[in-house]
Structures are given as C-alpha cells and as structure tokens.
C-alpha cells in the first residue's frame, strides 16, 4: 500500500528543516508508551499473531471504504498535503510513504490505522481549520504514529470498542472487553503525547503546534486566543480543586482516547524545553538499528522513574496525597476527610440536628 521513498522528494519544503536519518521512534516516545512498545516488540511471534487477527478485524473493509468514499492524497489531489506527507516521511526517515485520505467530515480529526501497513486519514474539518504549518505538525503527528507502530493497536482498539457494544447483552462479556479497552485507552493517551512530539520534530515550530492544539479546543477564532493563557488553563486544571476534583478528572478522562487538549499543549511545551529534545535536534538520538538490542527492563525502569517524578512534581491534590503517603505524613486521615467533603449534601464536619437533643446544639466535628 505504501509508496517507495526513492520516488519522490522532489518538492522542497517551504523552509529548511533538520532531518533525522535512521531515527528510532524511541527518541520521541513517552516513557509509558515506549516501555509498552518495547515489551510488545520483544514478544516472540507477536507479528504472526496480529497478522492472523487481521482476518477478524475490519481492516480490509476500512481500506476499501476510504478508497471508495474518500479522496486519496496525491500529486493530483490535495497536492499540498501530499508534499507535507512526503516531507514528514523524509524528515523522520520513514521508508514507505503511507497512503493518506481526506474524508468528508466537519469534525476536525485525524487517525493512523492498519495492521499490515498504516494508512492516514484526515477529515475535511481539520483541513479547513488549520493553516499550512499547523497542518504540517498534524501530518508529522500521524507519521510518528506510523513509525512507532501505533496503527496496529489503534486498529485493535477500534475493533474491541465495536465488539464491546455487540456483546453487551452477554453477562460479564462486556465487562471483560471494556477492561481491555480501558487499558488500551490509557496506553493510547500516552501514545498521543509521543505523536505530538513527532509532529514537533517534523514541523520544528513550537508555536504552530500550539496554535493547532488551541484550534482543536476553540475553533478557528485564533485572534481571540492566547498561547500563554491557554497553557495557564492546563496549570489551573492540574492544580485546582480538592480530592473530589482529582477523582472527577480520572473519571472524565477514562472514556477518552486522547488526553485533554490543554494537557497536550503543556506536555509538548515541557518536552520542547527538555534536554532530550535538544539532543535530538543536535543529532544525538537512538537509531532504529539499535531497537533489537533495547532492554525491556530498562524501558520499564525509565517508565517507573518518569511516573515517580511526575507524582512528586504534580500539583494535583491526589498526587500530593500519594507523595505524603510515601513520605509518611501523620495527618493523612484528616486530610482525606477534608478533601472529600462535599460529595454528600450534608457537610462531613456537621452532624444533623437530633430530635432528642435537649440543648438544640449541633454535634461537633466527625
């Protein structure tokens, strides 16, 4: 399905961008995403199993559907997107250019799916919403998915989500499948952060990446929005509220395949200022040729270290509580009680008036 890279980088990008020959997707992958992928790549017979699954998954149907009812990007159709796609594959050194389709849908969206070979789909809503440099970051995002092999797991997630609806009538059947779907969604949210980083490596323009994310959140009214104010929302979201809000954040994000847009923007800006990003831009990054020698244990250790650092530095009330538990704080019981006050209609620190209370006074703190 893919096109050979030797056929076509004759279109020169609008400005000079750094290229990353032989770059491994491990260079930009989020630690949690990377550890999962390294482990899966090490599994003996993994590719064989998923190729066998391809007969069950609706991949052929999807390919035929896009071919018959969408517009395939080429030199003759959406040529500017074709230039961006080839440029992104050139920068990330992806050997084959995945087929790309534009699908009529007013909702701005893009995805990379496929078991055997990835295909990229963008909606007309997205094409109409973003300018050239913003769209370049999105195309780089999807090429990053392709290079990491995310399309395989995205396809399985789509299949399982559909299957969960079909077996909802079977006792416990839906619960078992949704447990897998929930775990896949958690991984996929991290893979989206990885792909955002790939988009930045392709576009090499942080402001364009930020603008694109703002438009996904607030539409095309860019003159009414401000990057700093948008990032301030992410800080307020992370640090605001009490333990009740922390629990609600978890519940809100569980059904989503993508992190919240402000969170993505904040994560991308943080990574753009990191030493890891600078090293990649300086040409120091892991190569694809070294992937087979990657240690699963080391990858999981890096992932665990990342989460530990995230918990310690987080301003979220629940994360702070976790840090205090690890540090052995002495007033945890009282702090938990105060954090969850308000979940019931009667405040936790007040007892209801009792009919047999002669004094007529309210009880003390519980």
- Beta strand pairing call for 100-103 and 119-123: parallel
Q: How many CB atoms lie within 10 A of CB 225?
A: 16
**Would you state the torsion angle of the CA atoms of residues 219, 249, 165, 112, taken in this order, to the nearest 10 degrees?**
50
C-alpha–C-alpha distance, residues 348 and 106, integer Å? 47
Q: What is the 3-state secondary structure (H, E, C) of 86-144?
A: HHHHHHCCCCEECCEEEECCCCCCEEEECCCCCEEEEEHHHHHHCCHHHHHHHHHHHHH
Phi and psi at residue 38, to the nearest 5°:
-60, -45
Looking at the annotation, which residues are catalytic?
A: 142
Contact 73, 85 (CB under 8 A): yes
């Amino acid at each position: 399905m893919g096109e050979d890279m030797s056929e076509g980088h004759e279109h020169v990008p609008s400005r000079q961008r750094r290229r990353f020959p032989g770059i491994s997707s491990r260079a930009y992958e989020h630690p949690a995403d990377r550890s999962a992928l390294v482990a899966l790549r090490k599994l003996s017979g993994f590719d064989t199993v998923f190729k066998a699954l391809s007969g069950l998954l609706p991949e052929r149907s999807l390919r035929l559907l896009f071919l018959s009812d969408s517009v395939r990007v080429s030199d003759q159709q959406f040529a500017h997107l074709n230039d961006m796609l080839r440029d992104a594959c050139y920068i990330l050194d992806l050997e084959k250019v995945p087929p790309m389709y534009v699908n009529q849908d007013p909702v701005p969206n893009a995805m990379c799916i496929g078991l055997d070979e990835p295909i990229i789909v963008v909606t007309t809503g997205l094409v109409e919403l973003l300018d050239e440099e913003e769209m370049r970051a999105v195309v780089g995002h999807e090429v990053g998915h392709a290079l990491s092999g995310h399309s395989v797991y995205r396809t399985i997630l789509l299949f399982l989500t559909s299957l969960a609806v079909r077996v909802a009538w079977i006792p416990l059947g839906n619960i078992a499948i949704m447990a897998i779907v929930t775990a896949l969604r958690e991984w996929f949210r991290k893979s989206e952060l990885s792909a955002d980083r790939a988009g930045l490596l392709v576009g090499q323009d942080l402001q364009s990446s930020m603008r694109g994310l703002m438009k996904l959140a607030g539409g095309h009214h860019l003159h009414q929005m401000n990057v700093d104010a948008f990032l301030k929302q992410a800080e307020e979201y992370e640090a605001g509220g009490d333990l009740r809000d922390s629990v609600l954040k978890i519940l809100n994000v569980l059904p989503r395949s993508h992190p919240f847009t402000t969170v993505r923007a904040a994560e991308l800006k943080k990574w753009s200022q990191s030493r890891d990003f600078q090293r990649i831009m300086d040409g120091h990054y892991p190569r694809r040729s070294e992937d087979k020698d990657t240690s699963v244990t080391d990858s999981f250790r890096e992932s665990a270290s990342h989460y530990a650092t995230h918990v310690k530095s987080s301003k979220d009330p629940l994360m702070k509580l976790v840090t205090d538990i690890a540090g052995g704080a002495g007033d945890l019981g009282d702090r938990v009680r105060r954090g969850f006050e308000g979940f019931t209609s009667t405040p936790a620190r007040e007892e209801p008036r009792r009919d047999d209370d002669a004094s007529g006074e309210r009880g003390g703190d519980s």
